[in-house]
Structure 1
Amino acid sequence: MKLIAIGDNVVDYYKDRGEIFPGGNALNVAVMGKRYHAASSSYIGILGSDRAAEHVKQTLLRENIDISRIRQAVGPNGEAVVSLNPEGDRVFVGSNAGGVQAFMGLRLNQEDLDYISSHDLLHTSIYSNLEQYLPTLQERIPISFDFSTRWTEAYLQRVCPYIDYGFFSGSDLSEDECHQLISRAHHLGTKVVGITRGALGAIFSEEGKLYRQRIVETEVVDTLGAGDSFIAMFLIQYHQHRDVAEALELAAAAAAKTCGHYGAFGYGIPKVG
């Protein structure tokens, strides 16, 4: 399976540790998808020109991610400031508003579209600003989309008709609210809908058939990246084998493993300046 992720990248700055770690939903899924045995994994996004951007770039190369279509621009890379509570849950306490990628916006050209079409599955997110391209991309490749916690009815209407997989973070949603959200996304055209709920596990639906997945108990060091690892493992397993229950079990185990270390997938370095 050939995976491509397009959109957001940042460094996560852990103030209490004085370290930065590569991150961002799209970038995390690209890296974790490759670790979870995608035949190949590619990433398209905009990097800055600072030390943080160079660290992200070198990390992607070390992880054997194809970055041949990546962009770089003069300016700061995206940065999120992270704090941890006593339970190890990550809390975002600040950012530089996305750095150069947010300032410029990613623009896809015909060469990009042809390159994207050579893959089997595309993943992107609400933080990637690709909504205008979804109708065109849908004609070329199945699409996975992470809504995080930021959706409205209007946004669902804009995105759900063009995606195959929709992921939501819903630890604050009631059981009824989860079912309503799943039904709405299905009605708008999304075939597989998943809601991760923190310690409550996950609720997924494959065209109306519901599945529940408990968390895998583990010693928590840092929860940052756990949701992205869940998504990456689910996509790699389900898209190839079409077994929701098995994909969810493996995804829960992957998320638990991610909670055992700092950063989404490691590579922390001291922050300078």
Structure 2
Amino acid sequence: MDLMGGIEVVGLGQACVDYLGRVPLYPAEDGKVELEEIHMLCGGPASTAMVTLQALGIKTTFLGSISDDHFGKMILRNLQEKGVDVSCLKVVPGYCSQFAFIAISKSGARTIFWHRGTVPPLSAKEINLKEFPDAKVLHMDGLMVEACIEAATQARALGLTVVLDAGSWREGSREVCALVDILIASEGFADPLVGENTPVEETLETLKSLGPQVVVITQGAKGSVGLGPEGLVRQEAFQVEVVDTTGAGDVYHGAYIYPLLKGHSMAHCMRFASAAAALSCTRVGAQAGIPTLEKVERLLKRGSPPGG
């Protein structure tokens, strides 16, 4: 077994290619609208988080499965160019890799239509975190449930901190949540559990009861709210000129891990992640606006919201 030293964060999940088109307005059903611009860029929850950490100076690896089609080759090349280790990224010939169509409004808000692809997901038996002896954090997007359960189980046995990007509640989510230390969820993730329009404080308590020590809910332009050992923490969003919000949550997840590795508090991690996510919204695409550490620190010093 070849051991890959120096890698601090292991990412497990999806990588994809995004077609992004800016529209002056979103058409009604059976209507049409001309695209003002179009881009073809790489994205994906776990992969974008790893690219974010690489930009911040943290060595990462990405575990997932793609095919050898045009999308897969583009995904692989992008991760390599961004410095993410892909030695355990599985390439399965003859399938379709994941892709998405994304409509971006004038405000920068996005509507996503995505295709999971036909590539077989990683199986539990293909997970071996012992290959990364220096790893401190496992970050998952929860889409490959069996692989996530196995990876989280291994991570706990090895003493890694397990972070989950919880986008949508699906079969197996409860089992995955029980194995994570830090749960960072989208605003609607817990709706199947608590119902819509439930106060965020109640939602946080419900999610924390599933097992995580820390739960954070991201709320887009409203910022984020967290519940952990230090109590309830609210973090406002930093004010920037928004071009496209695609991937902002994924950048938040990756950026949250950076100060976590340094031993900082939940409040500090939320503030750092909020700044990085805001900066990512100043460019089109999930990864084009990912900031360097210097840019994040500059925004933090400027101090948009006080946070916490």
1:127 equivalenced with 2:146 (yes/no): no
Identify the residue that residue 261 of structure 1 maps to in structure 2: 283
The aligned residue for residue 64 of structure 1 is: 83
Q: What amino acid does structure 1 have at the position aligned with 2:10?
A: I
Give 2:100's match in structure 1, choosing from 65, 80, 85.
80
Give distance in 2, aligned partners of 1:117 and 1:190. 24
Alignment: residue pair count: 260
Q: Equivalent residue of 2:103, what SS?
A: strand
Q: How far does residue 109 in structure 1 lie from its aligned partner after superposition?
A: 3.8
Q: Offset of 1:171 from its aligned partner? A: 6.6
* Separation of aligned partners in 2, 1:63 and 1:264: 13
Tell me the equivalent position of 1:244. Answer: 266
Greater CA drift, 45-54 or 170-179: 170-179
Partner of 1:270: none
* CA contact 2:149–2:176 (8 Å) conserved in 1: no
1:147 and 2:166 aligned: yes
Hey, what's the Cα distance between the residues in 2 that align with 1:160 and 1:242? 23
Q: What amino acid maps onto 1:256 in structure 2?
A: A
Aligned to 1:138: 156
Give the CA deviation at 1:110. Answer: 6.7
The SS at the match of 1:27 is helix
Q: Does 1:89 align with 2:109?
A: yes
The sequence identity of aligned pairs, in percent, is: 22
Q: Any idea what SS the aligned residue of 1:162 has?
A: coil
SS at match of 1:241: coil
1-side partners of 2:178 and 2:61: how far apart? 25
CA distance in 1, matches of 2:174, 2:197: 22
**Structure 1 segments (4+ residues) deviating >4 Å:** 171-176
Is the counterpart of residue 21 in structure 1 residue 41 in structure 2? Answer: yes
* Aligned twin of 1:223: 245
Amino acid across the alignment from 2:46: A
Q: Is the 8 A contact 1:5 1:122 kept in 2?
A: yes
- Measure how far apart 1:216 and its partner are: 0.5
With over 3 angstroms needed to count, the CA separation of the structure-2 counterparts of 1:146 and 1:214, relative to structure 1, is: same
CA contact 2:61–2:85 (8 Å) conserved in 1 = yes
- Which has more radius of gyration? 2
Distance in 1 between residues matched to 2:126 and 2:92, nearest whole Å: 20
Structure 1 residues 219 and 33: alpha-carbon distance in aligned structure 2, compared to 1, 3 A threshold = same
Does residue 46 (structure 1) correspond to residue 52 (structure 2)? The answer is no
Q: Which residue number in structure 1 is paired with residue 8 of structure 2?
A: 2
CA contact 1:202–1:213 (8 Å) conserved in 2: yes
State the alpha-carbon separation in 1 of the partners of residues 202 and 172 from structure 2: 16
User: So what's the TM-score if we normalise by structure 2?
Assistant: 0.77
Q: 5+ unaligned residues in a row in structure 1: which ranges?
A: 268-273
- Cα distance, 1:208 vs structure 2: 6.1
Superposed CA offset, 1:209-229 (max 9, x none):
111100111111100111111
Please report the RMSD computed on the Cα atoms of aligned residues, expressed in angstroms: 2.4
Matches of 2:266 and 2:233 in 1, distance apart? 8
C-alpha distance in structure 1 between counterparts of 2:181 and 2:133, whole Å: 16
1:116-152 CA distance string (max 9 Å, x none): 454110101132333441334332222111111x227
Structure 2 counterpart of 1:139, which letter?
A
